[in-house]
Structures are given as structure tokens and as C-alpha cells.
Amino acid sequence: MSKQETREVWQGFIQFPERLNAFAIFLIVVLYGAILYLISSLSFPPADYHVGLKNLNYVTGAESANAEINPFVLIKGIAIDENDDEKKVELGVQYKVYSYIDAFGSYRPTRINYFYSVADKEGKTWYIYETTRSVTTSSYRIVTHNLVGNNLEIGKDAITEVYMKVRYDDNDEKNKQVKVAENIIELKKKELKSSIFTSNNTLEDILQLTFTLKNLDSEKLNFNFKIDLLPDNPEPFHLNMQTWIVTDGGKIFPLNGLYNYKTTRDFSPSIETEIYKYVQAKYIYAKLAYTDNEQNTRWLYYKVAVADLLEA
């Protein structure tokens, strides 16, 4: 090959990109992107969050026979304005999930690992928290009001199940386990006018459910509840409770939910829940399911006007 021919070959190679038309360049870019996507997909396969926690030996709290510890959960729903336009209110819900673990009687574990998660109405599982800690407290309440899920925007009434898994050690045995799943109690619109909801906040001679509502400032109210166990020495039980805001226009938003509560002591959250005034809350509804030691379940259906709570 002559020097002239060699020079022409090198010039052609250098000018190669200039000779490609726009369509050819587009095909090369698409092919390159497809190769990168394939490599990424094989290296980092997507997690299937729709597998969920079903069929993994979780039982309801009422069926759990553990007599050493009681993992339970408080789920707070806060109705918020999701619209950036100040002239229009579009309500949605943010959830805060708090874990608690109590020990029964004089029992105290030495180390504890706990995992909390929730499932939504589309079948997606939200794996929200897992931690391990040594137990140094002598109090019956091992885990107190620990925020395990903050400002979860899953959607209105979207949480359908909550899962609690606890592994723990004591001086005699390691890797004990409790796995509890609870279905979130629902309130349907057709129930709002049902006569089963009354102003009676006492369930027989078993317990009393009390709401408090404070007019904090011009923007919001602060809500809280308390469960008073009426017997001096309550028998073992299982309790689930859910409350809702019902607006002036008849819309339903979840407020506070307490699930798998078994501790034979009164309970009230240490932190109140805000209710924004633009929500225009008119009523607060509650359903409480109390299951006794013989697996008999009694229900409390309570309804109170927001105006009445503010006057109390």
C-alpha cells in the first residue's frame, strides 16, 4: 500500500462519525442504551414488593400464645392538603407508625430484634423498620413510642395490614420469636348513619375509651385518646382499635389505630395527633374489638362530634 493510500485510509477512519447519517447515530445510541439496561437489570434485579408477608407463619394477635412479651403498634393517620394551590384543598393522608414492646409480669429479655412493616390495598408490602437492641431497662415497657415509619404517603385508607416480628433472647434461651399480623379495621361510608355508633364510650365493665381535643392555634387541633381498663386486675385479653375523622362533607380519613394491645395496663399515647382545620372534621368515629381469654370478642362503636369535644 502506497503512502497516499495509507493516508486516505486514516483520513477515512478519522472522518467516520461525520459520514454517519442521523438515523445511524440514533440506532447506535439506542443499542448502547439497551446493552447498559440489560447489564444493570442482570446485576441489580428489582425487588418484588408484592410478594408480601403472607404464608410466613404470622398469626393474629388473638391467636398468639406468647406470654412473655407483647409487641403492639400505633398507627397515626394525618389528613393533609396535597395541593400546592392555596385556593384549593386536596386532602390526602400521611402515616406515622410507632412500635411498642411490653414484657409481661417480671419477665425481661436480655436482647431484642424487631421488624415492623405494613401492606397496602394494592398488595404492596412496605418494609419500614428493623433494629436490634440490648435490653437494659427494668421497666415493663421495653420499646416505647419508637417511630418506625414517618410520613408514609401510601394513600387514603391504603394500609390494610400490619406485621410485627420480634426475636429476643433471655438468660435461658436465645432466638425466641413472635410473629403477629393484624388486619386494619375499616369504616365504610354506608356505616356512618348506622345506629350501632353511639355516644357511649364504655364497653360493659371492661374498659372506657376517652377522646381529648385541644384547640391549639388557628391552623390545627390536637387529638389524643386513652383506654382505661376498669377491673383492678384484668384478665388476659387482646385489643384492636381504629379511629377516623369524618369531615363536614362526609369524607372518611384514618386517625389513630392501636393493634395487638395485650398489656393489662391503661394506655394513652405520649404524643398527640394534629388535625388541620382545613380538613373540616365534624365527627370522630371509633371501632374497638376486645377479645377475652376465652376468645370471645366484644365490640365498642363510639361516635362523638368534634364540637362536643372542644366544649368539654
Q: Is the pLDDT assigned to residue 90 strictly greater than 70?
A: yes
Beta strands in the chain (DSSP E): 69-81, 91-103, 111-120, 125-134, 141-152, 159-169, 176-183, 202-203, 207-215, 220-229, 238-247, 252-261, 273-276, 281-291, 297-305
Question: Is the CA virtual torsion 249, 250, 251, 255 positive or negative?
Answer: positive
Q: Is the pLDDT assigned to residue 42 strictly greater than 60?
A: no
User: What single-letter DSSP state applies at residue 103?
Assistant: E
pLDDT of residue 189: 93
Higher pLDDT, 125 or 140: 140
Distant-in-sequence contacts of 133-140, Cβ < 8 A, 24+ apart: 134/110, 135/108, 135/109, 135/110, 135/111, 138/108, 140/102, 140/103, 140/104, 140/263, 140/265
Choose the most confident range, by mean pLDDT, from 25-34, 109-118, 134-143.
109-118
Beta bridge partners of 131: 114
pLDDT of residue 66: 87
pLDDT of residue 287: 98
What percent of the chain is modeled with pLDDT above 70? 78
- Check if the beta carbon of residue 230 is closer than 8 Å to that of residue 281: no
pLDDT of residue 49: 39
Tell me what the mean pLDDT of segment 275-303 comes to: 95
pLDDT of residue 43: 43
Return the minimum-mean-pLDDT range out of 40-49, 190-199, 204-213.
Answer: 40-49
Return the minimum-mean-pLDDT range out of 19-33, 113-127, 182-196, 235-249.
Answer: 19-33
Higher pLDDT, 116 or 216: 116
Which cell numbers hold the place of 215? 384547640
Q: Is the pLDDT assigned to residue 302 strictly greater than 70?
A: yes
Measuring CA to CA, how many Å separate 218 from each of 11, 225, 275?
Answer: 77, 22, 11
pLDDT of residue 239: 97
User: Per residue in 221-247, pLDDT tens?
Assistant: 999 999 999 988 889 999 999 999 999
Higher pLDDT, 116 or 153: 116
Choose the most confident range, by mean pLDDT, from 160-164, 180-184, 223-227.
223-227
Average pLDDT of the residues of the chain: 83
pTM of the model: 0.80
Q: Is the pLDDT assigned to residue 9 strictly greater than 50?
A: no
pLDDT of residue 14: 47
pLDDT of residue 202: 97
pLDDT of residue 13: 43
pLDDT of residue 36: 60
